[in-house]
Chain A
Amino acid sequence: MREAVAILSWIALVAATGAMQAHEGHQHKVMGTVVQVHADKVSHVEVKTVEGKTVVLSCDDKTQFMKGKSAAKLQDVVAGIRVVATTVEEGKTIRAVEVQLGEMDAAAKPAPAGHKH
């Protein structure tokens, strides 16, 4: 009898675990050009991906920013810059684990001033 109670209690404990499912997603890569940055406690970086979608990345104090092999900062993320972000989905939020910063997108660069004659 005691054994049966112990086994069933253990099942109850494990079942309680099952009820607390936290479906977290895989890591994904987001490759695109920064459209705008909203810097706050949790900063949001809006990126237009190479597939043409718009994705908003949440960046917090754990997000690592890199430029090549050197450390960078959120302040280095500006509109028009190319980025490749490693992200995880947490509910409806796309959290950036790491953001690699690249060059300014050619389309975002201001056109060179024309010659004046």
Chain B
Amino acid sequence: MALLGLGAGGAGLAFVLSAGFSARDEPTAVEAFVARRLRNFSIPREHRDARNPVALTPVVLARAREHFADHCASCHGNDGRGQTTLGRNLYPKAPDMQLADTQGLPDGHLFWIIKNGVRLTGMPAWGEDTPEDDSTTWELVHFIRHLPKLTPEELAEMREFNPRGRRDWEAAEAERRFLEGGEVAPAPPSSHAGH
């Protein structure tokens, strides 16, 4: 058994030395399984089962939608599917939060991940340890629950709140003019949508 381990390790080492590592890789099933278990261990039990203390209202949802578009969408995408340049090239990749792997997590679990981040991933800890920031985080939990029901109109509205630099604004303006039938502007420099 030890010889088998040494052999596999030696072969692995030879491969690593020749091929190197890349964040483009997809974690193996074993690695993903172990990482998920470790993430679950990182959350104290009493926090894991916490219920959302913020009442869900249209105003709360609108505020969370705007907050998500401004702070989270660069990696997760406005729709939470992680189909962004950053999200697709992180290691591990940003998850599709509309799916059961995320939607099946308890509220307290989602809250903890947003507030404390996840070590050795691209997910940082957000906000300070204040009641105001906690309330904002709970509002985001409501929004994450809403992701599978997001409408195209909500998505269009979120786009207005996505962070953009001057080049992105110029590119967006050129696209708008083009769609409205205007003259074709020179190719915008930010042809990488996610950059």
Residues of A within 8 A of B (CB): 1-2, 4-24, 26-29, 31, 50-51, 62, 64, 66, 68-71, 82-84, 86, 88, 97, 100-106
Query: Which B residues lie within 8 Å of A11 (CB)?
Result: 9, 12-13, 16
Could you say which of B13, B24, B156, B194 contacts A15, with CB atoms under 8 Å apart? B13
- In the assembled complex, 30 residue pairs joining A and B whose CB atoms fall closer than 8 Å, in A order, are A5-B5, A5-B9, A8-B6, A8-B8, A8-B12, A12-B8, A14-B16, A15-B13, A15-B15, A15-B16, A16-B28, A17-B25, A17-B26, A18-B15, A22-B24, A22-B26, A26-B192, A27-B84, A28-B193, A50-B184, A66-B155, A68-B156, A69-B152, A69-B153, A82-B179, A84-B179, A88-B83, A102-B180, A102-B181, A106-B181
| Interface residues of B, count at CB 8 A | 49
- The total number of A-B Cβ pairs within 8 Å is 141
In the complex the two chains form, what is the Cα distance from A27 to B86 in whole Å? 10
Quick one: closest A residue to B194, CB to CB? A27
In the complex the two chains form, what is the Cα distance from A59 to B112 in whole Å? 36
Query: Is B54's CB within 8 Å of the partner chain A?
Result: no
In the complex the two chains form, what is the Cα distance from A14 to B12 in whole Å? 8
**Nearest chain A CB to B194 CB, angstrom units:** 4
Residues of B within 8 A of A (CB): 2, 5-6, 8-13, 15-16, 19-22, 24-28, 30-31, 79, 81, 83-85, 88-89, 151-153, 155-157, 171, 175, 178-181, 184, 187-188, 191-195
In the complex the two chains form, what is the Cα distance from A7 to B156 in whole Å? 49
Could you say which of A6, A51, A71 contacts B151, with CB atoms under 8 Å apart? A71
